[in-house]
Structure 1
Amino acid sequence: MLKAKFVKKLPDFVLKVDLLVDKEILVLIGPSGSGKTTVLECISGLQKPDSGEIILGEKVLFSSSKRINLPSYKRGIGYIFQEYALFSHLTVKDNILYGVKNLLKEEKKKQLNKILKQFNISHLAERYPVQLSGGERQRVAMARTLITKPHLLLLDEPLSAMDRKLRERLRKEIKELHKQWNIPFVLVTHCRCEAELGDKVFKAEKDEDGGEIIMRFCQSA
């Protein structure tokens, strides 16, 4: 379970977040510039909130009162960036294995083959990112993230660059992936049609004077 209650001061507004997500998909929806990516970056450790706390399971990731701020690599969180952040000079195989540490060669090979098969990308193992379609790049990004066995998955606008047909297919794949891994997913989007992915949906809303943006719960499945 993820508990995230924090405040982050940004140049144009103050972002207030209060989220609770168990083994479900939580969707954060709002326009560009409303702080959605900042929420993910604070949870992952790429940014530091000004106050509050973030707890994943029994682990305190951030607490202003206890002066705790774990670095990203100690948080056990997978993060799929909007542009996927694949290394252009590495093959699909080497991209996926990039974050795998402390495993013997044979175990690495076993884990690689397992994740390639799960995402149906075994035939792409020796290709480079430039040779992949948008949907294939997304699958590689997910495989690279999930091979590390995170306790939480963050997805930043995962379907934003897709055409309608591909978006529909990948929405189904994300739902199926969530069932398989059984961990919390937090997905941000500016598109209302992606809200159907969520077991819970929160919306970024400005207060009356525009000085604060609050992530407010708006619906559940």
Structure 2
Amino acid sequence: MQLPGRGRRSSEPSFTDSRHLATSLAHVLDQENDSRPYALFGHSLGALAAFETSRRLRRARSAPPVLLALSALPAPHTARFRAIIPHCLITGDLVLTDLIGPLPQELCDHPESAAAFGVPLLADLTLLLQHRHHEEPPVESAVALYGGCHDPVATPDDLATWNDLFTNAADPTLFPGNHTYPIDQPKPLTERLVRDIQAAYGKPLVPAKPSCP
């Protein structure tokens, strides 16, 4: 799903309220009119979006995902972001490259590109800082947890805290890299995600046949 403020929707304002984001995503899934099983994968802010969307769908008595695959974010009930990010912003200790790794040279050389990259990131931080976790019954969907071995945002212990919010539990799967490990590890991540979906679904996934022109 392409969120506002990114890609082809870069001219639209980004979400800064997790409730609005989850409601919008749940509405899209409800409108698909597709009865097939599905899974949700979310990286970083996307992990919170996937989790809250699944809870929003449950409240609406809509079909839940067979799997929630959550990557590179501490669970929301720990409030770790609210404990770390404000201090870093106020003291000036927040170094972007410590969170996401080296920035492309294009961003350093062109202010317009830097702004296009930075504005959605600031919106994401605002959303995370404003999010307040509300207790609900544990989510019954299967869960998979992914992270980077050297991610300062979500350590293996941080990832494991998601298990508090599910009836099932999963050990975190770690990949080489930092917070942006999916950029460097797309094939291993995709292969693991496919295996986890198949395990949750209970049968092998069948690739879609190409349609005729």
Normalised by the size of structure 1, how large is the TM-score?
Answer: 0.28
Say which structure is richer in helix: 2
Normalised by the size of structure 2, how large is the TM-score?
Answer: 0.29
Specify which structure has the bigger relative contact order, considering alpha-carbon pairs within 8 angstroms and separated by 6 or more residues. Answer: 1
